[in-house]
Chain A
Amino acid sequence: QVQLQESGPGLVKPSETLSLTCAVSGYSVISGYYWGWVRQPPGKGLEWIGTIYHSGSTYYNPSLQSRVTMSVDTSKNQFSLKLRSVTATDTAVYYCARVAVGGQTDFWGQGTLVTVSS
């Protein structure tokens, strides 16, 4: 069974960098799917952050592109998200997910709440 697990600090200070990792088990990150990040501010809707392929190709939400970097570590079977210069509006539950061509995300992590506050 494919499982994804997010990890990283739950509290980040304004202007600093949010860093999250998604560990994948039960499936190899190089086996043909894309990998993505989605976030959801408290009480609000879902927002697509971006997707990455194991080759390193990345596709970012234009509204976040200037602050986002995604990467894949095939040796550890995991992928990561970095969001720079965060503000309170970046406070959200961050989900990682397996993404098929066309956007079907069939496996999700449980989500991790990241709060931006001093």
Chain B
Amino acid sequence: QSALTQPASVSGSPGQSITISCTGTSSDVGGYDYVSWYQQHPGKAPKVMIYDVSKRPSGVSNRFSGSKSGNTASLTISGLQAEDEADYYCCSFTSITTYVFGTGTKVTVL
């Protein structure tokens, strides 16, 4: 299985909105509503920010939102803050009952 495709980097100024894309195939992203998004700060374990495409776990800011269209899922961070600077990974269930991560996106707050 190939890693899902994400942009290597995305940047924005404080207060702006940014969107990270995650492109797969009909065998993963496009075939199931099981896409999750993870935030990872340096030296830390990943933290789930979105699951099941657009659901937000308790305690996660509503500035984070998820969506999907066809084989591409997206994570939008609105009202960008300095603390949002981190690496972000998407993850999808696949047709062979495993999971696959995206290539990862480094978010920089200018």
Interface residues in chain A, defined as those with a beta carbon under 8 Å from any beta carbon in chain B? 36, 38, 45-48, 50-51, 59-63, 95, 100-106, 108-111
Contacts and interface: CB of A to CB of B under 8 A. Distances in A.
Contact of B93 (A36, A102, A108, A110): A102
B99 A48 contact: yes
B45 A104 contact: no
Given A102-B51, A105-B48, A46 B38 contact: yes
Given A45-B3, A59-B98, 19 more contacts: A46-B46, A46-B101, A46-B104, A51-B98, A51-B99, A62-B1, A95-B46, A102-B32, A102-B51, A102-B52, A103-B34, A103-B99, A104-B48, A104-B51, A104-B57, A105-B46, A105-B48, A108-B47, A110-B45
Interface of B: 1, 3, 32-34, 36, 38, 40, 45-48, 51-52, 57, 89, 91-93, 96-104
A36 B47 CA distance: 15
A100 B101 CA distance: 16
B55 to A, nearest CB: 8
Contacts of A102: 32-34, 36, 51-52, 93
Give the 10 A-B CB pairs with smallest separation, nearest first.
A104-B51, A102-B34, A108-B45, A45-B104, A46-B101, A48-B99, A103-B99, A59-B97, A103-B36, A104-B36
Which of B33, B38, B46, B52 is the most central at the interface, judged by chain A CB atoms within 10 Å of its CB? B46
A104 B100 CA distance: 12
Contacts of A104: 36, 48, 51-52, 57
Nearest to B102: A45
B106 to A, nearest CB: 11
B96 A100 contact: no
